[in-house]
Structure 1
Amino acid sequence: MKDVRITHIGGPTVLIEVHGWRLLTDPTFDAPGRRYAFGWGTSSRKLTGPAIAAGALDPIDAVLLTHDHHADNLDDAGRALLPTAGTVVTTATGARRLGNARGLTPWATTRLDAPGRPSIEITATPCRHGPPLSRSITGDVIGFALHWDGQDHGALWISGDTVLYDGVREVAGRVEVDLALLHLGGVRFPITGPLRYTMTAADAVELCRHLRPRTVIPVHYEGWQHFHQGRTSVEPVFAAAPDVRGLVRWLPLGVGTAL
């Protein structure tokens, strides 16, 4: 994907720079050490801080917030950043909670427009943040497919926090994906045993075989106690899949990478 610069700040937090736009995903900028409750007896401790402090960022044009109700996707410092962003795009339920935000349901779209820049069309894509029938407990989550004029090989897609299920597989049939930011981590909690709340490396391999993206960037795999598959667990699974391993790029934290 040409003319795109990606900076992985930590966890799910990524700065996307394209044609003058500065887009930030799931802002998490709190210091490490604190334990956060996620509801229904689940909790987790933040283990590492962001590679770039919120105050060190230049102005943000839009925040793409997959969901607002879990601190590993929006913590206190990230929430404080939202009013400084030009636009916040999130779930319909999250927009009602936040107030000044654009809310999307799966497959709904909105646009970012500004003089002298190409418009960016943002399409919400489905997520299920846990096992079947868990949505009433884990809440609404969306991913984002970004389209703009001049893309040669398809969209930039942010999976959001999701397990692999038919709604995510549907993306492969509806969106041509060039660059995929995949939220991994194989999230589990002691109180719910083996149940998973985000994709594992094996899930990512299967999904990539459906999507056929040109580039895959893993995110949401480090920095929190409830992330059970870090890079050392994910890399061997990708390496064992010859049709996928060549697609994967691990970005150094805090360093902008041109793609």
Structure 2
Amino acid sequence: MGSRSPLLPRHDGSAMVVGGPTTVLDLGGLRIVSDPTFDTPQSYGYLTKTEGPAVTEDRFADVDLVLVSHDNHADNFDDRGRAFALTAPLLLTTTGGAKRLNSPAKGLAAWDTHGLRRPDGGELTVTAVPAVHGPEDGERDPDGEINCQVTGFVLTGDGLPTVYISGDNASIRTVTEIARRIPDIDVAILHAGAARVSGKFRERPVSLDSVRAAAAAAILSAPVVIPVHCDGWAHFTEGRDAIAHAFDDAGLTSVLAIADHGTWLPLKS
């Protein structure tokens, strides 16, 4: 039997993009993993994964919380990501996703909150925020959702940077609402990459494209912006170069935080 890989040392106050949308946050003594995708490259019908994770899931076995923006699509929640999430102490996701996943999943509707005790005795508060997984005028399902139910998250706590994780959101109107209700966001983790799927919404983006990601950054006024969900899958149509170009055009290069996958990024500028 092979030896198990050692846990990745914690870097409190830092984030690591593992690949696709998957981001690890070490925050307030807690380890948080968002939208876990740990499969090797493969096809999932109309979605194709082209790159594996920079770090495998066993290195994060000490996770305290998993956040899943939606469980419906493999590019946000693949097979190994699902297995990883279901062994976590707690998984926060959409209300519909929690019903499908069962324990340890808890569903949050928009603006609902959940508190976690921190090792230092403080609390981390997770607030679910809206997300629109397609164009504003896209056809809605019987539940009023475009594409499927998706949630973003905002993480707050005394002495901690406020972190917004967008989930698969394509709506600038939604970003504006979040900025109005939570005005002091320090870090924005934006699902960019202009994901486009054949046969859906005339192939218009179902996540932020580069220009809208820069617009979202301007609206949020976050001093640190980490783009994710922009590589590793064939339906992501705009990568890091396009994002960097759009932020440069907008005069926002100073807030953009991009590094090789598997590299820690500080959450404070």
TM more than 0.5: yes
CA contact under 8 A between 1:164 and 1:207: conserved in structure 2? no
CA contact under 8 A between 1:125 and 1:168: conserved in structure 2? no
Question: Which residue is 1:83 aligned to?
Answer: 86
Question: Which residue is 1:5 aligned to?
Answer: 14
Question: Which residue is 1:113 aligned to?
Answer: 117
Question: Which residue is 2:241 aligned to?
Answer: 232
1:217 alignment partner, SS class = strand
TM-score, length of structure 1 as denominator length: 0.91
Deviation, structure 1 residue 3: 4.9
Matched residues in 1 for 2:158 and 2:204: separation?
Answer: 41
Deviation, structure 1 residue 116: 3.5
Does 1:249 find its partner at 2:257? yes
Does 1:25 find its partner at 2:15? no
Deviation, structure 1 residue 115: 4.9
TM-score, length of structure 2 as denominator length: 0.88
Comparing 110-119 with 93-102, greater Cα deviation is found at 110-119
Q: How does 1:60-75 map to 2 (within 5 A)?
A: 60-75=63-78
CA contact under 8 A between 2:162 and 2:185: conserved in structure 1? yes
Question: Which residue is 1:148 aligned to?
Answer: 157
- Does the C-alpha gap of structure 1 residues 110 and 45 become closer, same or farther in structure 2, counting only changes over 3 Å? same
Aligned-partner residue type, residue 71 of structure 2: D
CA contact under 8 A between 2:36 and 2:82: conserved in structure 1? yes
Question: Which residue is 2:128 aligned to?
Answer: 124
Deviation, structure 1 residue 120: 0.6
Aligned pair partner of 2:165 in 153, 158, 170: 158
Q: Structure 1 unaligned segments of length 5 or more: list them.
A: 38-42
Matched residues in 2 for 1:208 and 1:233: separation?
Answer: 15
Comparing 213-222 with 230-239, greater Cα deviation is found at 230-239
2:86 alignment partner, SS class = helix
Deviation, structure 1 residue 246: 1.0
Aligned-partner residue type, residue 20 of structure 2: G
Q: Deviations over 1:79-132 (max 9, x none)?
A: 111232110000001001101111011111111125534211000111010122
Comparing 98-107 with 188-197, greater Cα deviation is found at 188-197
Matched residues in 2 for 1:82 and 1:164: separation?
Answer: 27
Question: Which residue is 2:107 aligned to?
Answer: 103
Q: How does 1:163-178 map to 2 (within 5 A)?
A: 163-175=170-182, 176-178=184-186
Aligned-partner residue type, residue 223 of structure 2: R
Matched residues in 2 for 1:62 and 1:222: separation?
Answer: 24
Aligned-partner residue type, residue 164 of structure 2: W
Matched residues in 2 for 1:118 and 1:252: separation?
Answer: 32
CA contact under 8 A between 1:11 and 1:72: conserved in structure 2? yes
Percent identity, aligned pairs only?
Answer: 37
- Does the C-alpha gap of structure 1 residues 189 and 133 become closer, same or farther in structure 2, counting only changes over 3 Å? closer
CA contact under 8 A between 1:20 and 1:117: conserved in structure 2? no
Q: Structure 2 unaligned segments of length 5 or more: list them.
A: 1-10
- Does the C-alpha gap of structure 1 residues 52 and 117 become closer, same or farther in structure 2, counting only changes over 3 Å? farther
Aligned pair partner of 1:216 in 210, 222, 225: 225
- Does the C-alpha gap of structure 1 residues 54 and 135 become closer, same or farther in structure 2, counting only changes over 3 Å? farther
Aligned-partner residue type, residue 178 of structure 2: V
